[in-house]
Amino acid sequence: MPIQAVLFDLFNTLIMVRDGDAFYMPALKQLHKTLTRNNINIPFDDFKHEYFQVRDKLYKKAETTLEEPHFNIRISQTLQNFNINLPPEHPTIAKATNTFCKEFAKHTSLDPDAKNVLSRLSKKYKLGIVSNFAIPECAHRLLKQHRIDRHFQTVIISAAINKRKPSPKIFQKALQTLKVQAPNAMFIGDTPDADIQGAKNAGMKAILIKRPPLPEDTPQPTSRTQEQTPNAQPNHTIQRLTELPSILQQH
């Protein structure tokens, strides 16, 4: 069946996160400073300890449920451990999440081939994004910041629908929005289980982008879902986005 839609993972597929998780501690410190400026006075080391306890518990649950609670919930639950009861939608929590996003954004860069490839593909296919990320508004901001938002007819971020890859539901949501059947869609991502197996479980074809190894001393990009799944066999494997147009023409 001819390809009508091309869906992309976001991070380390279109927008690169430099130096793996190096962003995390600076971003968490900025988040903490925002809380302090809003009269929430908790020593950073204490806050950090409780935050990671909460985050990792949510991660563990997500392995079974494939749910993706919004990042605000992490902060709210962390503060509850200090007997500070603010709901996830409280303005102070929203400000703290926004500060985390701003710092995270400093550690991102656009894949050098992305703009040209997306511009070319958008002339022939419907384009969309399906991404695991706990801060949907941050993902949309980054798309605008890197000036690629105009190419996409749908952007589905896991925390916006509380469902994460490899659940077929998040892929199906994007397909429904685009009004395209799964066999007529191709997904491109960098993780075998979340992206490749997830897309194929939803009935889509899938391409794994596997970039050449970085120099030995360079931290590798990381994400929460990186396990190698034996059955996650892509239809194609590429090293650069520029390879996509010719592969799509084969379908």
Q: What is the pLDDT of residues 29-72, one digit of tens each?
A: 999 999 999 999 999 999 999 999 999 999 999 999 999 999 99
Last residue of a domain, one of 47, 82, 105: 105
pLDDT band at 112 (very low <50, low <70, confident <90, very high): very high
Q: Which residue has the tokens 């991660």?
A: 59
Helix (H) and strand (E) counts for the chain? 10, 8
Q: Which residue has the tokens 């990792």?
A: 56
Number of domains into which the chain is organized: 2
Q: Are residues 99 and 112 in the same domain?
A: no
Last residue of a domain, one of 105, 126, 146: 105
- Helices 91-105 & 136-145, crossing angle to 10 degrees? 40
pLDDT band at 211 (very low <50, low <70, confident <90, very high): confident
Q: Which residue has the tokens 């925390």?
A: 159
Q: For residues 205-244, b (16+ Cβ closer than 10 Å) or e, as one string?
A: bbbbbeeeeeeeeeeebebebeeeeeebebbbebeebebb
Q: Are residues 210 and 139 in the same domain?
A: yes
- Domain membership of residue 151 as a residue range: 5-19+108-249
- Helices 24-37 & 44-65, crossing angle to 10 degrees? 120
Percent of the chain with pLDDT strictly greater than 70:
92
Last residue of a domain, one of 65, 80, 105: 105
State the DSSP H helix or E strand holding residue 95, giving kind and residue range, or none if neither. Answer: helix 91-105
Which three-class secondary structure string do you get for 214-251? CCCCCCCCCCCCCCCCCCCCCCEEECCHHHHHHHHHCC
Q: What's the confidence (pLDDT) of residue 225?
A: 43
3-class secondary-structure state, position 125 = coil
Q: What is the four-CA torsion angle of 225, 120, 5, 62, rounded to 10 degrees?
A: 20
Q: Are residues 59 and 165 in the same domain?
A: no
227 has a pLDDT exceeding 80:
no
Enumerate the β-bridge partners of residue 58: none
Q: Which residue has the tokens 């919930």?
A: 73
Give the CATH number for residue 241: 3.40.50.1000
Amino acid at 191: T
